[in-house]
A = this chain, B = another copy of it.
Amino acid sequence: MPDYLPHTEEDIDEMLGFLGLASLDELFDAVPSALRIAGGLGLPTGIPEPDVLARARSRAEGNGARADRLVCFAGAGAYDHEVPPVVKALAGRSEFVTAYTPYQPEVAQGGLQAVFEFQTMVSRLFGLPIANASLYDGASAVVEAVNLGVGATGRSGVLVSAGVHPHWRAVLATFAAGTGHRLVEVPLEDGQTRWDAVADEADIGAVVVAYPNYLGCLEDLAAVRSLCDGREALMAVVADPVASAVLRSPGDWGADVAVGEGQAFGTALSFGGPYLGLFACSQAHVRRLPGRLVGETLDADGRLAYVTTLRAREQDIRREKATSNVCTNQTLMAVTAAVQLGWLGTSGLAEVATRCARATRYCKEAMSGLAGVEPLTGTTPTFREFALRLPVPARTAVERLAEDGFLAGIALDQLVGEDGDGSADAEAARRGLLVAVTERRTAHEIDRFVAALDKAVR
């Protein structure tokens, strides 16, 4: 059966002859024979495409949680938003999909311009003049924001609100082991960060706050700005970009850096990746910007052209002194986001955000009426996600609701840590359910969901 290799027997013979070799094996003469794999790899032999597809389909059948089967109320940074066929068709064009990083701008104007437009859109959304061409995901964008903050101030202390997504804080902590940043977690109360709890912390280079935070709550960013002013620390806002469509922008609140997860703009749930790390900052920090940046310029004929720029920051030139080690990023998702935002436009973007807020309010109100169910974050305003305290473990509720056709949300203890630590907090987390409601959810779905939850928690 053919594979993807075009070499005919004659090709191989002719090429080997040209090289003066007798066999393909001799190509590997440099490899010490003692190291060579004897008897072939311990992998099955290749199977034809249709069989591969059939296997993938059967695995896919094993995913009960498909959004086309369970109505999705899960969020926590990954949202079931509308992606129209037109966006898939455009972002899926093979020129965008099968290109490399635009090292040769003359034949990469298409991708470069799309990223330039993406940068402009992110810059406008976050209210900051500089936005890069993407990072891996929201988590990695937070890491880079902290690195920038510490690098810019020379102070390694970082205040991190506990409202930042638990996974992202975990990633921050992992990488801080290398960079040596001193992360100080700032606790929440009723869904808002208690900055006063860390009033004594000194030597702070950056303050990180999420807006809205992972419990869906709006934080007081004016307070964060003055905290930063007082300490000459950089203010880094982890912004939900859909919320940013109706909330005051990070830039407007005075943020130096704004980061976020861009999955909501045209990328499927995809079991968590590839997603899209958004990164924007003020002009002052452009030379510390991680990742790639596209700029406008002219060609030899004076014609407008685009090119990756300020390359001197990057590791291929700067090596161990680079501002970041990011090389391959998530350009295709950035192009996708540009297409999706182009499709939404000014009114559609606002409309999606407004509809999310409406649907969330509708759902939250209905749920608060259920016996034994109460909001976890008191009366703090939430945007498109909220946390409930259930009378039963949230995991149990999720399990039961799956049988009724709903992915009910994310059990907080699953998000916070795999096992919990047996404390009272852990017990609270076990009963916490995080529910997200996007513009795709209908009143009918929500009504049924509320009824099913009512039944499930009895």
- A50 lies within 8 A of B82 (CB): yes
Is A155 part of the binding interface, using a Cβ–Cβ cutoff of 8 Å?
no
> Chain B nearest CB: distance from A153 CB in Å?
46
Q: Does A400 contact B (CB under 8 A)?
A: no
CA of A93 to CA of B89 in the docked complex: distance in angstroms?
9
Please give the count of copies of this chain that the complex contains: 2
Give residues 438-458 of A contacting B (CB, 8 Å). 440
Are B84 and A94 in touch, CB under 8 angstroms?
no
A49 within 8 Å of B by Cβ?
yes
Whether A440 and B94, one on each chain, are in contact in the complex, defined by CB atoms closer than 8 angstroms, is: no
Cβ–Cβ contact B440 & A50, under 8 A: yes
Residue in B closest to A343 when the chains form the complex, CB atoms: B2
Contact among B50, B85, B89 with A94 in the assembled complex (CB-CB below 8 Å)? B89
In the complex, the answer to whether B440 meets A84 with C-beta atoms within 8 Å is no
Which of A2, A93, A347, A440 lies at the interface centre, i.e. has the most chain B CB atoms within 10 A of its CB? A2
In the bound complex, residues from chain B placing their C-beta under 8 Å from that of A93 are 94
Contact with B along A395-436 (1 / 0, CB 8 A): 000000000000000000000000000000000000000000
Distance in angstroms between the alpha carbons of A2 and B342 in the assembled complex: 13
Q: Which residue of B lies closest to A97 (CB)?
A: B89
Contacting residues, chain B, for A84 (C-beta < 8 A) = 49-50
Give A74-97 interface residues, CB cut-off 8 Å to B: 82, 84-85, 89, 93-94
A53: chain B residues within 8 A (beta carbon): 85
Chain A 89-107: CB-based contact to B (< 8 A → 1; otherwise 0) = 1000110000000000000
What residues of B have a CB within 8 angstroms of the CB of A49 in the complex?
Answer: 84-85
Closest partner residue, chain B, to A90 (CB atom): B94
Residues of B within 8 A of A440 (CB): 50
In the bound complex, what is the Cα–Cα distance between A89 and B82 (angstroms)? Answer: 23
Give Cα A2 to B349, complex, Å: 13
Chain B nearest Cβ from A243, distance in angstroms = 22
List B contacts of A50 (CB < 8 A): 82, 84, 440
A85 neighbours in B (Cβ, 8 Å): 49, 53
Rounded to whole Å, the gap between the CB of A84 and the closest CB of chain B is 6
Residues of B within 8 A of A2 (CB): 347-348
Closest CB in chain B relative to A340 CB, distance in Å? 14
Chain B residues closer than 8 Å to A348, beta-carbon distance: 2
- Per-position contact with B for A39-55: 1 when CB-CB < 8 Å, else 0? 00000000001100100
- Which partner residue on chain B sits nearest A94 by CB separation? B89
Nearest CB in chain B to that of A49: its residue: B84
Interface centre among A50, A85, A94 (most CB of B within 10 A): A50
Measured CB to CB, the closest approach of chain B to A1, in angstroms, equals: 9
CB distance from A82 to the nearest CB of B (A): 6
Bound state CA distance, A2 and B346, in angstroms?
12
Task: Give the contacts of A47-69 with B (CB-CB under 8 A).
Answer: 49-50, 53
Minimum C-beta distance from A379 to chain B (A): 33
- Where the two chains meet, the residues of A that have a C-beta atom closer than 8 Å to any C-beta of B are 2, 49-50, 53, 82, 84-85, 89, 93-94, 347-348, 440
Other contacts beyond A50-B82, A50-B84, A93-B94: 7, CB < 8 A: A2-B347, A2-B348, A49-B84, A49-B85, A50-B440, A53-B85, A89-B94
5 A–B contact pairs at CB < 8 A? A2-B347, A2-B348, A50-B84, A50-B440, A93-B94
9 tightest A-B contacts by CB? A49-B84, A50-B82, A89-B94, A50-B440, A2-B348, A49-B85, A50-B84, A53-B85, A2-B347
